[in-house]
Amino acid sequence: MTTAENTMAPARGTPAGRARMADLVVAEWIKFRSLRSTTVTLAVLVAVYLYLAYRGAQDGYQVWQSMPRQLRPAFDPVHGVFGGPTWMLAMIVAGAVGAMTVTGEHSTGLIRATFTAAPARRKVAAAKCAVTAATMTVPGAVIAAGSYAINEAVLAGYHISIPVSGADTARLILSTTLVTPLCALAGMALGAVIRNTPATIVAVCVLFVFTPFALKSASTRWAVDAANAMPFSFFSRLAVAGNAHLVGGVESLTAAWTALAVWLAASAVIVISVMGWRDA
Instruction: Report the 10 Å Cβ neighbour count for 44.
Output: 11
118-137: burial string, b at 16+ Cβ within 10 Å, e else: eeebebbbbbbbbbbbebbb
Angstrom distance (rounded) from CA 117 to CA 24: 10
Instruction: Report the 10 Å Cβ neighbour count for 277.
Output: 9
User: What phi and psi values does residue 158 have, to the nearest 5 degrees?
Assistant: -95, 10
Chain centroid to Cα 73, Å, comes to: 32
Angstrom distance (rounded) from CA 81 to CA 250: 20
- List pLDDT tens digits, range 44-99: 999 999 999 999 999 988 888 888 888 887 778 888 888 878 899 999 999 999 99
Q: Name the residue type at position 182.
A: L
Write down how long the chain is. 280
Between 203 and 252, the higher pLDDT residue: 203
- List pLDDT tens digits, range 2-46: 443 343 344 444 444 444 888 899 999 999 988 888 999 999 999
What is the per-residue pLDDT for 262?
97
Residue 98: exposure state from Cβ atoms within 10 A (0-12, 13-18, ≥19):
buried
Residue 233: exposure state from Cβ atoms within 10 A (0-12, 13-18, ≥19):
buried
- List pLDDT tens digits, range 164-220: 788 888 999 999 999 999 999 999 999 999 999 999 999 999 999 999 888 877 768
Least confident of 101-105, 113-117, 206-210: 113-117
Q: Is the pTM of this model over 0.85?
A: yes
What is the dihedral sign for C-alpha 40, 172, 241, 234? positive
Q: Name the residue type at position 51.
A: Y
Q: Is-contact 151 53, C-beta < 8 A?
A: yes
- List pLDDT tens digits, range 146-159: 999 999 999 888 87
Position 276 confidence tier, pLDDT thresholds 50, 70, 90: confident
Question: 230: closest CA among 179, 181, 191?
Answer: 179
End-to-end, the C-alpha distance of the chain in Å comes to: 31
